[in-house]
Amino acid sequence: MDSQIKKIHQQLVSKQITCTALVQERLDLLKQNTYNSVNSLLDTLALDLASKVDAKIANGETIGLLEGIPFGIKDVYMLQGTYTTASSDLLKNYKSSYTATAIQKLLDAGAIPLVKENCDSFGHGSSSENTIFGAVKNAIDPALVAGGSSGGSAVNVAKEYTVFSIGGDTGGSVRQPAGYNHIYGLKPTYGRISRFGLMAYASSTDCVGPLAKSIEDIRIVLNVMSGKDPKDQTSIVSTEISEEAISTSTVKTIGYFKNFIESDAIDAQIKADFLASIEKLKAKGIAVKELDFFKSDILVSTYYTLAMAETASNLSRLDGTNYGNRIEGENLIDTYATTRSENFSEETKRRIVGGNQVLSQGFSDEIYLKGLALRDQISENFSKDFQEVDIILSPVTPSTPPKIGDSLKDPLAMYLSDAYTVGFSLGQLPTLTVPQGTSTGLQITAAKNNDELVMQFANFLKDTI
């Protein structure tokens, strides 16, 4: 699909449509949707911003490429004056007092926010069922899960309720739902986009990530949000990626992990489709190399060890005193305990308990420090791999999306569904889901800071597979 952003921009400039009519149409679609993808609509703000765009066009003023383009926001980003619930009971009445840097940059470019989108509570889940707003339904088959945790964002893009949406990716939370709903979803290099104003889940792997229906729209949105931010010390300087730079592929050699494909856990059809894609690339003259890597279960256990430790630390501030829905107890400690016990979901409590166990005295050396050492080894392995190959290609998931309800019965199986995404998060690498190659898409990964190469190869794949 060609760029929806450019198409709508031309329609606005040529006065084929008005921005107000465009925004009203998308708001109506969101109101009528039955996919549980909406937490709250920003209709007053959106229509006010749309009328200003129409006034500029009527006055003959030039508008920017993103000006008047409707988008959605996963409900873990601050947008001043709007509800920011994280799809949780604890924050269901919380209103942001400031705006996230990434969202502010989009507002400054003139993009129009329509909706706060449903997600797994605090990003905890791989199916978007762990939410007080009801399980998000898959855009292709509503009986299936949408994927998590940015499920609402993926569905809104897939159904064209929004032109693009902003999700958050910690261990695959943009890439997996993008694959389940047949759209593009990018986890950029860690630090390329400021995390300021994104509710922290696991701070060392959290990334702001766009979802859209074309590579060009991903590129446009990424460029706007990227850059060093004094409010986030982990953010980095980055250069703009031009359309010309990603129009021709320079990739000569790709690699794939044998243990991902030879695993007993992978669905037979996904395996067959992936290997067929590899053969098509060989036929185009691309060299293919099999790579050895950590077993999937080691990647998953390392990721969850560190992610649970970080989430236990990050969520310790949510005790009803400064934030959230306070429930009074007999004394202060009882108030803390009751507030957190009653307001956190079972999945969130499971991760907090696990994280506190990892960090507790007597266990931190044995478990947490071992996890940190493994993460260093994983990063070193990736560095060696990228001395041999330009790109790593992999399935996004080992299996197809489960039926709604099945994931909740087996949390361990849900964790293992992240097996093919979490390793790249631990390496802080740029990774893009493309809706091709297998029924849940393919994942393109490059070395750190090579986001441009990822999109370049995605354009090549679009014309090859």
Count of residues in the chain: 465
Catalytic residue among 3, 37, 165, 173: 173
CB 134 within 8 A of CB 93: no
CB 93 within 8 A of CB 136: no
Catalytic residue among 3, 37, 74, 194: 74
Residue 104 is encoded by which pair of tokens? 């502010």
Give the sign of the dihedral formed by CA 84, CA 89, CA 92, CA 93: negative
CB 427 within 8 A of CB 447: no
Which residue is listed with tokens 């998590």? 148
Which residue is listed with tokens 């995605």? 458
Largest distance between two CA atoms of the chain: 72
Q: Which of 114, 103, 166, 135 is nearest to 37 (CA)?
A: 135
Can 173 be counted among the known catalytic residues? Answer: yes
CB 139 within 8 A of CB 155: yes
Can 226 be counted among the known catalytic residues? Answer: no
Can 6 be counted among the known catalytic residues? Answer: no
Catalytic residue among 149, 194, 235, 277: 149
For residue 239, the Cα-to-chain-centroid distance in whole angstroms is 22
CB 302 within 8 A of CB 280: no
Q: Which of 456, 430, 447 is nearest to 192 (CA)?
A: 430
Q: Which residues are catalytic?
A: 74, 149, 173
